[in-house]
Structure formats: C-alpha cells, structure tokens
C-alpha cells in the first residue's frame, strides 16, 4: 500500500527534531559498509558523526547513536542504507522506525531523483571540493584500506558528511512542496 504524501509530511513534521539523517558508503559495490554518516538535525552547530569500518563502526556505538531516534531521513535508504545496516548490524535500529526516503518522495513529486541534480534544483549547496568524488568513493576506501592513506579517508568522510548533512535541508524543501 502506497501512503499518501501528506502522511509523510505529517510524520516528518512530528518527528523531525528526533530524527537522524543517515548515509552509508560501501567498501565496494554490494560490499561491507565502510562508513555510516549520521547527522542530528538542529539549529546551530552541525552534529555529524562518522562511523568508520575498523575504527569505530561497532554494534555498540551504533546502538548508542540510534537510541531515542524516532525517525530516519535517507536518500534511497529504504532500498540500500537501512537494509544494509540491519543486515550487518542486526537489531541496531529501533523496531518499526519510520524512514523518510527523500528519493521515493521526490519520484512521487516527479522531481529529478539524481541527488546532485535535486540539490541544485532545490538550492541545497555542497562544497565543490568534494562534489565529484562520489564516482571514486570505493577507490578512496581501497586507498585507505590498502595503504592507510589518511587523505583518501578524509576525502571519503567529507563526501559522506556532505551527503548526510544535506538530507535535512533537502527534506525541508521537499516537504514544503507537499500540499
């Protein structure tokens, strides 16, 4: 059953201050998670956390982060991010947590669903220095993993940070479009 868009808007407005924006990067296509980015939407300073494979990406750390979370905000997260987290870290997400998937809502609003195009269309900016890194995010992880290249890891984390923190202003703009 497909819920009406106003349902998602009501849910968003109810829980947005208790939500977490999440974005997942993989070590390679369909591989283990390399980075989970988490952003707590709020006014003022940006609260972004990165959980990195082999450093701090643990079941315990994720459980602590997701405790008290009432909703997740993702981009195509119902197809990838959430199932992948649940597969690799069972029971870390709160049971039956609602997921606002901006990709699916944008599709229903007949908007372009390429994340970067959608951001530009709706006036959500990102740092140009990381704008073209997505195509090589798995290469950045490989460089880090094989050679402990800290610059590659830093680039990957910054890209994930931009994707993650941009979900909130993107959600705000998309929800304004729902009547």
- Encode pLDDT of 109-139 as tens digits: 999 998 989 999 999 988 766 655 455 788 8
pTM of the model: 0.93
Write the CATH number for 124: 3.30.420.10
Distance separating alpha carbons of residues 83 and 28, to the nearest angstrom: 16
Domain assignment of residue 117, given as a range: 5-177
Distance separating alpha carbons of residues 163 and 19, to the nearest angstrom: 16
> Looking at the 3D structure of the chain, how many domains does it have?
1
The answer to whether residue 82 scores a pLDDT higher than 70 is yes
Tokens of 71: 């909703």
- Encode pLDDT of 143-166 as tens digits: 999 999 999 999 999 999 999 999
| Per-residue confidence (pLDDT) for residue 55, from 0 to 100 | 97
> Per residue in 120-147, is it b (16+ CB within 10 Å) or e — as a string?
eebebebeeebeebbeebbebbbbbeee
Judged by average pLDDT, the poorest of 11-25, 39-53, 146-160 is 39-53
Q: List C-alpha distances in Å: 133 to 109, 142, 163.
A: 28, 14, 11
CB-CB neighbours of 29 under 10 Å: 6
CB 59 within 8 A of CB 92: yes
CB 100 within 8 A of CB 74: yes
Q: Alpha helix locations (H) across 99-165?
A: 102-108, 115-122, 137-147, 150-165
| Per-residue confidence (pLDDT) for residue 179, from 0 to 100 | 84
């Amino acid at each position: 059953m497909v819920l009406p868009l106003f349902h998602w808007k009501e849910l968003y407005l109810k829980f947005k201050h208790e939500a977490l924006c999440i974005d997942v990067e993989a070590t390679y296509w369909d591989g283990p998670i390399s980075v989970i980015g988490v952003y707590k939407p709020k006014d003022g300073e940006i609260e972004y956390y990165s959980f990195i494979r082999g450093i701090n990406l643990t079941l315990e750390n994720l459980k602590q982060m997701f405790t008290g979370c009432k909703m997740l905000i993702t981009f195509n997260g119902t197809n990838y991010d959430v199932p992948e987290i649940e597969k690799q870290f069972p029971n870390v997400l709160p049971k039956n947590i609602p997921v606002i998937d901006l990709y699916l809502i944008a599709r229903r609003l007949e908007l372009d669903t390429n994340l970067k195009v959608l951001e530009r269309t709706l006036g959500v900016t990102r740092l140009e220095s990381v704008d073209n890194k997505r195509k090589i995010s798995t290469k950045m992880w490989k460089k880090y993993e094989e050679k402990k290249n800290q610059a590659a890891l830093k680039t990957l984390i910054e890209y994930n940070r931009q994707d993650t923190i941009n979900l909130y202003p993107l959600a705000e703009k998309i929800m304004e479009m729902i009547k």
